[in-house]
Structure 1
Amino acid sequence: MRIAVPNKGRLHDPTIALLERAGLHIENGADRKLYADTVDPDVTVLFARAADIPEYVADGAAAIGITGRDQVHESETDLVDLLDLDFGKCRLVLAAPEDGPIESVEALAGGTVATEFPNIAKQYFADKPVSPDIVEVSGATELTPHVDIADAIIDITSTGTTLKMNRLAIVDEVLSSSVHLYANPEVAEDPKVQQIATALESVLAADGKRYLMMNVPEGQLKEVEDVIPGMGGPTVMDIDGQDAVAVHVVVDEREVFETITRLKQAGASDILVTEIERLVE
């Protein structure tokens, strides 16, 4: 089974890091190789341009793929969205010169919009009261309104800094995007596909969580349980030969500092805090 992943750019390193954390360690994946094995003999990684991954998955060249939601919408492929991987966040926005006449979508009547995402642009204007001409460009989209190629643009922004540098103001948000795990509809329910999705989801679920272990006198267990902000009830285990129990619980990282203070006040001791690599809920 093949997983298509971005071969370069801002999505490559976070994708590889996520696969590694999920246990799918990549082997013999030297630079410029198209394929690489993983520690799972049934799983191979296919390196491709992020924009090409939706088509590879739709055509069956890869069973699943990791790429941006914007790329899937632009490709207009029919894929199953298995999981939001919660990185690579950005927005596609409609923007125009900040000192120009385009301050609303309606002001684009009879105008022109430049973009690297012509299909998304057509989808966006399909339910708008105007139908501007769409000009496809392959780069430097932000410059087009300043050289009389277009009245406005539809382009990706993360922080808005590039738009401001080019004296462009956002008129409307077209699409919000992040990196997702997608599958070919014919194999979306395959056990191996579901296994990979579960592995990735377990890594995401563990982000921002910590595992707390402590010893608690039996007579003070209720007080300790009352201050634990964990996921469900804690795990309580007897300690041989002692009038105490071992308590284990998962808590939000942001609550650890305050929780430890309250646990000690309630009678807990020998408190140990560890990171969690994966959490299968």
Structure 2
Amino acid sequence: MNHKIINPINNKNTYEMGTNMDITKQLYLAKQFQEIHHRNKMFILPNAWDIGSAVTYEKFNFPAVGTTSAGLAYSLGYSDGEKIDFEHIVQIVKQITQRISIPVSVDIELGYADTIDGIVENVTKIIEAGAVGINIEDGYSKPTPYLENLDIQIKKIQAISKLKEKLGIPFVLNARTCVFFIKVGKEEERLSIAIERANAFHKSGADCIFIPGAIEECNISKLIENIPAPINILATPMTNNLENLEQLGVRRLSLGSAPVRAAYSNLIETVKQIQDENKISKLLDHDFSYEIANKLFAR
């Protein structure tokens, strides 16, 4: 992948129609985002936690940007898990889509609503904010990890899928099953559960299936063999060989919350040195000067 910084974004490339993105541009981006899921190669989807991180990803030539629910929450001072007001997410999505010119996909976790109608309303807000992709998941981590009833999750996906025609935007519906991520059930049962749910989601209108978690390559191969849809995997220590993942047939690799955690890790190490050692060398030990930063974020 070419990581050369491209020219600053021309402000004329972004438009507003009331509170929304120009429909022609959004339609183009939606079709583009659909298309890259069906190329015979894997693409990396970096996950942004604010406007600056989204701009950075675009400047380094990534084909699209996703949001990270954890990262958005951390940037607002909260933990992950639908702890922030949904309208904050909508506002951040608007700001991102108005600032960059590549497809944006949004993680809405469980949908930020207790009813299917509420979830559909929230997805509508996200698409009207300029996004061309959404993630909807099926896992609850507390009090004991469990998955949403399959029939109910199917109805959610069907209802979201119908929005494509209603809104006139063929956004990518990325349906996530959390069976590996939150370790539901017995380890030997997770593969078959994931395959069953993934196929049900795909038949219900999901364009891509997201199966995050620490998954062995042999199981990734079985998932791809048994699910006739593009497969999205999360970057983890177990899934860090990008060439192998591409050869297996993974089509989308999400970086998830790893970049924002790496950024906060650097910040924590810096402030710990200041507090514990009364030194600031970690603060200054980098090449990202004020001039370079301004060049990166110039419009």
Report the TM range for the smaller structure's normalisation.
under 0.3
State TM-score, norm by structure 1.
0.24
State TM-score, norm by structure 2.
0.23
The structure with more helix, counted as a fraction of residues = 2
State the structure with more CA Rg: 1
